[in-house]
Structure 1
């Protein structure tokens, strides 16, 4: 209040139209205050009209404090209002506060309210909900405060940065972030680059104490190497200290420091690491060399006073700006600054621009946009081609992690407990574009099991490959049905996973590899290959091991980007390595010659057949150890022959007591039929399942599910629930409803199968 310089009303508010342009007296404020320009400001302040004011809120008249409120600051600029600061940097009232001078902010506010009551100027007190900014670290209330700062006119830099994105020179993944970026760039404001903190790059500005001139010094301001070194030492805050030769060399090694005749890096490489190295193995010999060549003794053994001179008056009475650069200013120079710009052209030509930037959406404005602006300004080129915006990692409830909430998952602890590979794979598998990651320790633990699966599967292959020399060529072998299937599946996996990787869909990439290795390679191919490994001929065993090792090697390559440690370790034990180190091994390519769609589809259909038999066990609660009598009616002779080739493997996978394969068998009264693309499967339930009791049990389960479906339908048909309940609750209910309908369909099918067996049994009795 003490800093108010106007009262604002809406120009369309009929209540106050006659008052616009008149003045009111500001109570409690001294008659004369001093604004930021040193001018006197009266306590008679104008009534102004501005659209900022909401006439429906409160009285419709708003006091304007330009020096202590961001919105009021904008109003003040529009109306050329004086800006009066009433606090010092310690939040105590200053001279502009009159009788309240010296009071701390909270005490001053209390005293002002008391004074207004005393003068009869306080109409009423009300509680208001208000957003008050707090410091993240100290938790103190932040007071808006005008101060002198350094700014970059980013509007001059924005045009190029907008154009390179609109023209497609830079792509955002997901593409939706382009709109966010452009919206900010088209409405960009000046960038405050000065910070009042302890650490950072000091702003290279010096103020002349004699003529008040502002001096923007840099390396180019000095001609000699000695002057350049002194300037750099001074800019680093080391003037006044005793220098050692290491201080000088640290400057010489800086790629951004330029020798007047040759770059410092060339100097350093030739003098320090080059042919003359043996001449100065010790510090003394190096000092002697430097003394004899460019007279560096002043630099490392004297105390220096200020050597800089004012560009305007020549005075040495200078004071450097104490503020440091915003960390994002330094970071914005990173893509080319790290490559020795502007003096080192070779590295820039090779490594700039980079291909990909991976970052979070929360720093698109802070970092990404500014790197693009700086890159297009100083190198006339983009800093990178693609920007991948990854998700934020939240806790399992979707809340942002914070120490205060106590929901932080420490990656170092997780890596120690479950392994780095499991942690990496978890994050990759959850990294869907445009969706935050909900991370829980259970998920990481789950992917530790995947690491164990990789290890155990590899151990199985390696143990059984003791006599395998790794030299066999796939092309020279007689491959079986299952061999062609896994090789075709591998080709599909390479093609699909590579496509996802190139398109930055890391979750799809990870999940494709997970499914292939665990389900196809381990659950199916290893199991199908055991018959040949343990009971096959030497040639059959050799073929199975060759394919097993080949697919394992290629799988390790595919997994290596996400799981580098376990894959590198296992790769070292392989006998069929195609490089000493996995990290530099050739990435897998599709081998078209091993694609065989006919055999691929046969095994896929066989997997479904075996899964259907396993489902019978589950549906009828048959113990896993109970052996079943199975008969398969193949749809044709070709299928029959293939099933017979794999008969022992199928028998083992479905845990059958007996397995008959034919084309001309019919279902009996004690069997239930399961339909598959390869034919019908008859499972004999005699002595295992009481059909009547099972029908009764299934009907009871069906009745329970029907009740649950009605409850779910009631909720989802209720508009109040759908519109007012949290979206995640509604979605969960929809998922439950869908699951219940699927369960109902499954039970109906089971009842149908059981009743068909009962009808057949009754019919058989009748015929007898």
Structure 2
């Protein structure tokens, strides 16, 4: 609430350090690929002129930049600086870096120079506007990056205009389509992690269902799955029998299957999961004994009791996933 004291924690400083490192590393990554011509081309006019050549992820990130601008501007005008920082942090790290820059790499390393230049125009445009948003909070690093990217617009970032959202890049369909792809990619990643699939191995993926959804969004962006989830072949069909020995996930009205044959040693993985199941069951048994002990509940500090309850919830969730994984390996 307004006027409330904020307790400083060491973790807050670590988070700030990590965020500035992320900004700097992202800039250095882009600097490996752009030149002065790319900086000059990173204008709204050039992006608008090439609108029909923008990929879905380009339109999505421009829309998310708009959202961050609106959110941060409103928060600053109301003196809610923590909300402003949260909006910028979430956009830059969780959307621009985690998704856009990762998907950008294919075009940056590809042979299509036109696609590469357009991708850099979008990335540098977003980076410049992000620095404008960052400047009230972290002025020194924002100014440093601006001196490399934005001097054609203003000698100093302090003289640059505050960014304005652009309605033409606020498409609910683009956001919805890309969010669906994100959810499906995360589902495949989670399956790979839970089933201990080696990073070095690519997987085939079958997606079924999707009543009321446009399946073309999935098939047209198979490359996104290859880049971010190590997918070798992506197949979509409205209906299909479940593949044998396949891990599965449900995403909205879709079902995602990852056949495991050839990806893992099934017997070794079963044994590993059984051992982990036994370990978690013993930990849960000990936690339950403590939490059902009224002496412990009455005498232990509240934060200790709450921490034990959180552990119980976490262990139960992990155990549920383990049981599900074992079931997949037995089918």
| Residue of structure 2 in register with 1:494 after alignment | 69
Structure showing greater radius of gyration is 1
| Residue of structure 2 in register with 1:30 after alignment | none
Structure 2: tracts of 5 or more residues without a match:
none
Per the alignment, in what secondary structure is the counterpart of residue 587 of structure 1?
Answer: coil
Write the deviation string for residues 268-302 of structure 1: whole angstroms up to 9, x where unpaired: xxxxxxxxxxxxxxxxxxxxxxxxxxxxxxxxxxx
Per-residue deviation, 1:598: 1.4
The structure 1 residue matched to 2:21, chosen from 423, 430, 452, is 452
Question: Would you say 1:521 and 2:96 are equivalent positions?
Answer: yes
Per the alignment, in what secondary structure is the counterpart of residue 668 of structure 1?
Answer: coil
The structure 1 residue matched to 2:183, chosen from 608, 615, 634, is 608
Pairs aligned (count): 325
The structure 1 residue matched to 2:204, chosen from 629, 649, 660, is 629
| Residue of structure 1 in register with 2:142 after alignment | 567
| Residue of structure 1 in register with 2:49 after alignment | 476
The structure 2 residue matched to 1:532, chosen from 107, 112, 123, is 107
| Residue of structure 1 in register with 2:8 after alignment | 437
Per the alignment, in what secondary structure is the counterpart of residue 197 of structure 2?
Answer: coil
Distance in 2 between residues matched to 1:670 and 1:728, nearest whole Å: 43
1:22-61 paired onto structure 2 within 5 Å: none
**2:287/2:308 contact within 8 Å kept:** yes
Write the deviation string for residues 199-240 of structure 1: whole angstroms up to 9, x where unpaired: xxxxxxxxxxxxxxxxxxxxxxxxxxxxxxxxxxxxxxxxxx
**1:483/1:544 contact within 8 Å kept:** yes
Distance in 2 between residues matched to 1:438 and 1:502, nearest whole Å: 26
Structure 1: tracts of 5 or more residues without a match:
1-172, 175-387, 392-435, 759-768
The structure 1 residue matched to 2:30, chosen from 450, 458, 461, is 461
**2:88/2:133 contact within 8 Å kept:** yes
The structure 1 residue matched to 2:84, chosen from 506, 509, 522, is 509
Per the alignment, in what secondary structure is the counterpart of residue 622 of structure 1?
Answer: coil
1:373-412 paired onto structure 2 within 5 Å: 388-391=3-6
Write the deviation string for residues 538-585 of structure 1: whole angstroms up to 9, x where unpaired: 543343222211211111112222211111100111158532211232
Per-residue deviation, 1:594: 0.8
**1:549/1:576 contact within 8 Å kept:** no
Per-residue deviation, 1:729: 1.4
Per the alignment, in what secondary structure is the counterpart of residue 572 of structure 1?
Answer: helix
TM-score, normalising length from structure 2? 0.85
Distance in 1 between residues matched to 2:81 and 2:296, nearest whole Å: 36
| Residue of structure 2 in register with 1:694 after alignment | 269
Per-residue deviation, 1:634: 6.4
TM-score, normalising length from structure 1? 0.39
| Residue of structure 2 in register with 1:432 after alignment | none
Write the deviation string for residues 152-209 of structure 1: whole angstroms up to 9, x where unpaired: xxxxxxxxxxxxxxxxxxxxx53xxxxxxxxxxxxxxxxxxxxxxxxxxxxxxxxxxx
| Residue of structure 2 in register with 1:485 after alignment | 60
1:112-191 paired onto structure 2 within 5 Å: 174=2
| Residue of structure 2 in register with 1:754 after alignment | 329
Write the deviation string for residues 611-669 of structure 1: whole angstroms up to 9, x where unpaired: 22222222122222222233334637974322333222321211233334454554321
1:648-663 paired onto structure 2 within 5 Å: 648-663=223-238
Per the alignment, in what secondary structure is the counterpart of residue 243 of structure 2?
Answer: coil
Per the alignment, in what secondary structure is the counterpart of residue 697 of structure 1?
Answer: helix
Q: Which one has more relative contact order, counting CA pairs under 8 Å at least 6 apart?
A: 2
CA RMSD across the alignment? 2.8
**1:517/1:555 contact within 8 Å kept:** yes
Per the alignment, in what secondary structure is the counterpart of residue 712 of structure 1?
Answer: helix
Q: Which structure dedicates a bigger proportion of its chain to helix? A: 2
Question: Would you say 1:741 and 2:312 are equivalent positions?
Answer: no
Distance in 2 between residues matched to 1:505 and 1:725, nearest whole Å: 37
**1:462/1:574 contact within 8 Å kept:** no
Write the deviation string for residues 131-152 of structure 1: whole angstroms up to 9, x where unpaired: xxxxxxxxxxxxxxxxxxxxxx
Per the alignment, in what secondary structure is the counterpart of residue 702 of structure 1?
Answer: helix
Cα distance change on mapping 1:704 and 1:504 into 2, 3 Å: farther
**1:527/1:649 contact within 8 Å kept:** no
**2:150/2:157 contact within 8 Å kept:** no
**1:629/1:657 contact within 8 Å kept:** yes
Per-residue deviation, 1:743: 1.4
Per the alignment, in what secondary structure is the counterpart of residue 562 of structure 1?
Answer: coil
Per the alignment, in what secondary structure is the counterpart of residue 437 of structure 1?
Answer: coil
| Residue of structure 2 in register with 1:585 after alignment | 160
